[in-house]
């Protein structure tokens, strides 16, 4: 006996067996029970979600011989049910619009509409991929759709409902089928495996359901392939090889290396992944999914996965969002890149480039990241800074003026400049630097603090403790720089306006000065 593929073997025969389309089933069964059956339906949705299956079940419900009226649950035993199931029923016509686009084919179909059904109550016309019909074909259908014979039901199945003319859509009851939830699809696969008496693990079924992207048919096809690969057994390693997925530990190492700014770790992990012959777009998709989970954990704090919790506590919220945007941008252009591996590599390089911890020099700090410093502590007392030099000594930073010069001359990441540029110097004593911060200042991310300490270590040739004190910040580096830039801009603008040659030129040609283009000479 020939093998029957799982997608056909476990094709639903009634509404109760359909997976994940409860809203559609409810609408159809209620209509049948109340005998309010529409003349034409549009079943829209992605591939493999049950459009054709629902159409066949509906045809059985309408023509089932169990009662004298249509029933919501077909018997599957009468001649009409058996014939519709096997595709032999004369009153149920399936038409592939992709191969019958010509208007002559539709006109031939319309000519048969007037004839009453041979056995059943209704003649049911199922036109699959109806959006492939030509404009002339749709126009030929319009009159019949508007005033169909009482014994005729049209069912249109399509993956692109937007391509169906509005004039046709307005004459039909449109039902949109959803993609099936991964958890629900995984349970469906497990149910089938139990019936087939095949051993499995939850991770394998979830990987298959995830790869199917909401399509039941694709999920069962992947299951068939996995069973063939595993010689009739469902093995986690076989599923990973088939789908091109990688072990979660490698993915964690990859993201961990990006967060730590460790380029060597990132590309060493990528080399390990390469040995598994993966699908690189799947890797990027997994990275996006994990960054999404990390972002949710940072807000909700309800994850039950240990590595997600650890990563959420480790990475800065803003930096996590930046990584997500970089990954999404790379994924959107993945299909047009000539080399998938290079596309993933350049994505990771961009992530490292924008990581404040990533240093290209040999002097980069490899210190382990310590606990976060929270600036919003209630026990700190507000103090006003002393405008005089606090420590006149040979220390590299002994005053706020020294602090500003240090800030302007040292290379920092944009993240670090944004945080420390809004602080002012208080004092430096016993190997510890104290900076003043405003009371509304946000928490310093651990990676930013680690970067700043590395810069201080290079300057002082030793570890320097950094303390923060809430107070009134006066003359912060960014404030001083902004004031100086504003002063220079005003001076440049005044010089231009007072220049005699420019005045004469403007008067002669009725010209105007575009002030936003004025820049001081550095």
> How confident is the model over 5-22, as a mean pLDDT?
90
| Confidence category of residue 29, pLDDT binned at 50, 70, 90 | very high
| Helix ranges (DSSP H) in 230-339 | 236-243, 248-260, 263-274, 280-300, 306-314, 317-332
Residue 522 pLDDT greater than 60, yes or no: no
pLDDT-based confidence at 366, cuts 50/70/90? Answer: very low
Residue 356 has a pLDDT of 65
Instruction: Give mean pLDDT, residues 201-228.
Output: 87
Residue 30, number of CB atoms within 10 A of its CB: 11
What's the Cα-to-Cα distance from 6 to each of 1, 11, 128, 216, 227, rounded to whole Å?
Answer: 15, 8, 22, 11, 11
The pLDDT of residue 123? 92
Do the beta carbons of residue 391 and residue 429 sit within 8 Å?
A: yes
pLDDT tens column, 106-161:
888 888 888 889 888 999 999 999 998 888 888 888 888 888 899 999 999 999 99
Helix, coil or strand: residue 230 = coil
384-393 long-range contacts (CB < 8 A, ≥24 apart) are 384/471, 384/472, 385/424, 385/426, 385/436, 385/471, 385/472, 385/473, 385/474, 387/474, 387/475, 390/425, 390/426, 390/427, 390/428, 391/427, 391/428, 391/429
Pair 320, 356: CB distance under 8 Å: no
pLDDT for position 519: 64
301 burial (CB, 10 Å; 0-12 / 13-18 / 19+) is exposed
pLDDT tens, position by position, 419-454: 888 899 988 888 888 999 887 776 777 878 888 888
Express each pLDDT in 285-311 by its tens digit.
889 988 998 999 989 888 877 888 888
Tokens (6 digits) for 27: 């609408």
Beta bridge partners of 173: 41
What is the CB neighbour count within 10 angstroms for residue 63? 27
CA distance 112 to 346: 60
Angstrom distances, CA of residue 273 to CA of 276, 307, 340, 341: 5, 19, 14, 11
Contacts of 180 (CB under 8 A, 6+ apart): 19, 20, 49, 188, 214, 215, 216, 219
Q: Distance (Å, rounded) from C-alpha 348 to C-alpha 366?
A: 20
Pairwise CA distance, residues 462 & 451, whole Å? 14
- How far apart, in whole angstroms, are the C-alpha atoms of residue 492 and residue 499? 11
Task: Say what the pLDDT of residue 369 is.
Answer: 40
What's the pTM?
0.59
Tokens 């559609």, located at residue: 24
pLDDT at residue 375 tops 80: no
The maximal CA–CA distance of the chain, rounded, in angstroms, is 107
147 burial via Cβ count (<10 Å: 0-12, 13-18, 19+): exposed
Tally DSSP H helices, then E strands, for the chain. Answer: 22, 8
**C-alpha to C-alpha distance for 327 and 318, rounded to whole angstroms:** 14
| C-alpha pair distances (Å), 362 with each of 54, 366, 454 | 65, 10, 12
The CA distances from residue 178 to 27, 165, 215, 410, in Å, are 14, 22, 9, 55
Q: Give the list of residues 6+ apart from residue 300 with CB closer than 8 angstroms, or none.
A: none
The mean pLDDT of the chain is 83
**Per-residue confidence band for 521, with pLDDT thresholds at 50, 70 and 90:** low
Cβ distance 212 to 219 under 8 Å? yes
Res 270 pLDDT > 60: yes
CA distance 172 to 216: 26
Please report where in the chains the tokens 């009409």 appear, as a residue.
Answer: 80
What pLDDT digit, counting tens, does each position of 198-214 carry? 888 888 888 888 888 88
126 beta partners: 94, 155
* Of residues 367, 355, 385, the one with CA closest to residue 456: 367
User: What are the DSSP calls for 316-331, one per residue?
Assistant: -HHHHHHHHHHHHHHH
DSSP one-letter code for 171: T
Angle between helices 263-274 and 248-260 (to 10 degrees): 160
Give the integer Cα–Cα distance in Å for 480 and 285. Answer: 45
Question: What is the token pair recorded at 477?
Answer: 């580096």
According to DSSP, residue 34 is labeled T
**In angstroms, rounded to a whole number, what is the distance separating the alpha carbons of residues 281 and 275?**
16
All residues at 6 or more sequence positions from 325 whose CB lies less than 8 Å from its CB, including other chains = none
* pLDDT at 371 exceeding the cut of 50: no
Instruction: Tell the burial category of 486 from Cβ atoms under 10 Å away from its Cβ (0-12, 13-18, 19+).
Output: exposed
Given a cut of 60, is residue 219 above it in pLDDT? yes
Q: What is the C-alpha separation between 111 and 312, in angstroms, rounded? A: 66
């Amino acid at each position: 006996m020939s093998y029957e593929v799982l997608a056909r073997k476990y094709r639903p025969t009634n509404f109760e067996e359909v997976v994940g389309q409860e809203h559609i089933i409810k609408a159809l069964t209620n209509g049948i029970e109340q005998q309010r059956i529409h003349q034409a339906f549009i079943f829209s949705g992605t591939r493999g979600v049950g459009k054709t299956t629902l159409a066949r079940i509906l045809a059985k419900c309408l023509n089932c011989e169990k009662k004298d009226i249509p029933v919501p649950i077909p018997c599957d035993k009468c001649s009409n049910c058996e014939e519709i199931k096997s595709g032999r029923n004369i009153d149920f016509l399936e038409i592939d619009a992709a191969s019958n686009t010509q208007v002559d084919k539709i006109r031939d179909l319309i000519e048969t509409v007037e004839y009453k059904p041979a056995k059943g109550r209704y003649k049911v016309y199922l036109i699959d991929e109806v959006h492939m019909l030509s404009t002339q074909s749709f126009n030929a259908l319009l009159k019949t759709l508007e005033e169909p014979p009482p014994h005729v039901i049209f069912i249109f199945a399509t993956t692109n409902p937007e391509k169906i003319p509005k004039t046709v859509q307005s004459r039909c009851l449109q039902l949109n089928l959803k993609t099936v939830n991964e958890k629900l699809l995984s349970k469906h696969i497990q149910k089938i495996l139990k019936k087939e008496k095949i051993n499995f693990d939850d991770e394998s079924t979830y990987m298959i359901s995830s790869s199917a992207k909401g399509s039941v048919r694709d999920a069962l096809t992947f299951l068939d392939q996995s069973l063939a690969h595993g010689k009739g057994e469902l093995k986690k390693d076989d599923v990973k090889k088939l789908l091109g997925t990688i072990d979660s530990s490698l993915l964690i190492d990859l993201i961990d290396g990006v967060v730590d700014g460790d380029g060597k770790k990132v590309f060493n992990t990528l080399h390990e992944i390469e040995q598994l012959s993966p699908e690189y777009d799947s890797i990027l998709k997994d990275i996006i999914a994990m960054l999404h989970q990390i972002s949710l954990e940072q807000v909700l704090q309800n994850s039950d996965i240990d590595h997600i919790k650890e990563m959420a506590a480790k990475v800065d919220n803003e930096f996590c969002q930046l990584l997500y945007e970089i990954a999404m941008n790379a994924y959107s252009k993945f299909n047009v890149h000539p080399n998938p591996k290079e596309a993933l590599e350049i994505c990771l390089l961009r992530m490292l480039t924008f990581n404040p911890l990533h240093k290209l020099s040999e002097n980069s700090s490899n210190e382990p990241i310590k606990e976060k410093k929270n600036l919003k502590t209630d026990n700190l007392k507000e103090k006003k800074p002393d405008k005089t030099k606090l420590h006149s000594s040979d220390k590299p930073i002994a005053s706020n003026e020294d602090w500003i010069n240090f800030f302007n001359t040292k290379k920092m990441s944009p993240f670090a400049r944004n945080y420390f540029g809004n602080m002012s110097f208080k004092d430096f004593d016993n190997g510890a630097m104290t900076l003043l911060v405003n009371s509304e200042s946000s928490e310093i991310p651990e990676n930013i603090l680690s970067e700043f300490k590395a810069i201080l270590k290079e300057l002082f040739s030793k570890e320097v403790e950094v303390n923060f004190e809430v107070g009134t910040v006066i003359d912060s580096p960014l404030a001083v720089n902004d004031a100086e830039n504003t002063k220079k801009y005003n001076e440049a603008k005044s010089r231009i306006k007072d220049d005699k040659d420019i005045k004469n030129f403007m008067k002669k040609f009725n010209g105007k000065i575009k002030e936003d283009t004025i820049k001081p000479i550095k």
